[in-house]
């Protein structure tokens, strides 16, 4: 049974929005095993007339980020010593709000408590991360994932690009069997943030 997700809720990739019998897939969604899932971070719209479900990733809510904010971001690029991310939403105590996208960077020193030689494998482009803002410099947010609640909450397999599931303390790809060991995952991996 798919939980009822209401229009206006914020969803992340992989969140189940509806069953295929109830709605047809609209924009930024995909169909899997009879379910309609979100393909992006965005706001869900259920068109009751057309019986169509879509996710809209854009908003005009201006970004006002400051130190300590917890945000959801999509990894855009992974370099040796830093990762670039698009900040897409801000998590408040009882709700998550979509923001107009703004740039963020995760330096290698803010990823794990232990020494990392490089960031390859810690993130993959497309991964959704829960991060905390350290400071905002020239419009770019410096982010950290260096605590157990922070890190990747939705990730992909580096071999086949399929979304991966958390099994015990590791990520596993159910499509190709790849076990992902190096990703910096959050203890909230797989959790939904819609309210
Ligand atoms: Zn795979």
Specify the CATH number for the domain of residue 82. Answer: 2.40.50.140
Q: Is residue 106 part of a domain?
A: yes
CA 14 / ligand 1 centre spacing (Å): 16
**What pLDDT score does 125 carry?**
95
- Residue 114 covered by a domain: yes
- Per-residue pLDDT at 60: 77
Same-domain check for residues 37 and 100: no
pLDDT of 191 reads 82
- 123: CA distance to ligand 1 center in Å? 15
Quick one: pLDDT at residue 2?
45
Q: Into how many domains does the chain fold? A: 2
Mean per-residue pLDDT for 33-52? 92
- pLDDT for 181 equals 87
How far, in Å, is the centroid of ligand 1 from the Cα of 165? 10
- Stretch 86-115: mean pLDDT: 91
- The answer to whether position 141 is within a domain reads yes
Q: How far is the CA of 156 from the centre of ligand 1 (A)?
A: 8
For residue 180, the CA-to-ligand 1 centroid distance in Å is: 9
> Which residues are found with C-beta within 5 Å of the ion, ligand 1?
157, 159-160, 162, 173, 175-176, 178
Give residue 9 CA to ligand 1 midpoint distance, Å.
29
Asked if 75 and 35 sit in the same domain, the reply is: no
- Residue found under tokens 């494998």: 121
Q: Looking at beta carbons, which pairs linking 59-65 to residues 24 or more positions away fall under 8 Å?
A: 59/98, 59/99, 59/100, 60/100, 61/97, 61/98, 61/99, 61/100, 62/99, 62/100, 63/87, 63/99, 63/100, 63/101, 63/102, 65/90, 65/102, 65/133, 65/136, 65/141
| C-alpha of residue 76 to centroid of ligand 1, in Å | 20
* Domain shared by 22 and 89, yes or no: no
Q: What is the arithmetic mean of pLDDT over 22-33?
A: 94
d(CA 123, CA 186): 12
What's the domain range around 39?
Answer: 10-56
Distance 164 CA to ligand 1 centre (A): 7
Do 84 and 127 share a structural domain?
yes
Is residue 65 domain-resident?
Answer: no
Mean pLDDT, the chain, as a whole number?
Answer: 91
- Output the pLDDT for position 1: 42
Is 2 inside any structural domain? no
Q: Are residues 40 and 75 in the same domain?
A: no
């Amino acid at each position: 049974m798919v939980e009822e997700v209401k229009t206006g809720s914020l969803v992340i990739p992989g969140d189940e929005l509806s069953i295929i019998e109830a709605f047809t897939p609209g924009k930024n969604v995909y169909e899997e095993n009879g379910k309609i899932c979100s393909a992006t971070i965005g706001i869900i719209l259920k068109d009751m007339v057309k019986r169509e479900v879509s996710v809209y990733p854009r908003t005009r809510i201006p970004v006002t980020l400051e130190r300590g904010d917890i945000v959801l971001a999509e990894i855009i690029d992974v370099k040796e010593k830093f990762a670039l991310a698009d900040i897409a939403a801000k998590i408040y105590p009882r709700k998550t709000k979509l923001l107009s996208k703004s740039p963020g960077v995760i330096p290698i020193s803010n990823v794990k408590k232990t020494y990392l030689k490089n960031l390859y494998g810690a993130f993959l482009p497309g991964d959704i991360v829960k991060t905390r803002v350290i400071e905002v410099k020239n419009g770019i947010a410096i982010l950290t994932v260096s605590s157990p609640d922070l890190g990747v909450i939705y990730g992909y397999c580096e071999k086949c690009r399929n979304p991966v599931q958390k099994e015990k303390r590791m990520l596993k790809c159910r499509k190709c069997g790849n076990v992902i060991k190096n990703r910096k995952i959050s203890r909230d991996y797989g959790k939904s943030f819609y309210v």
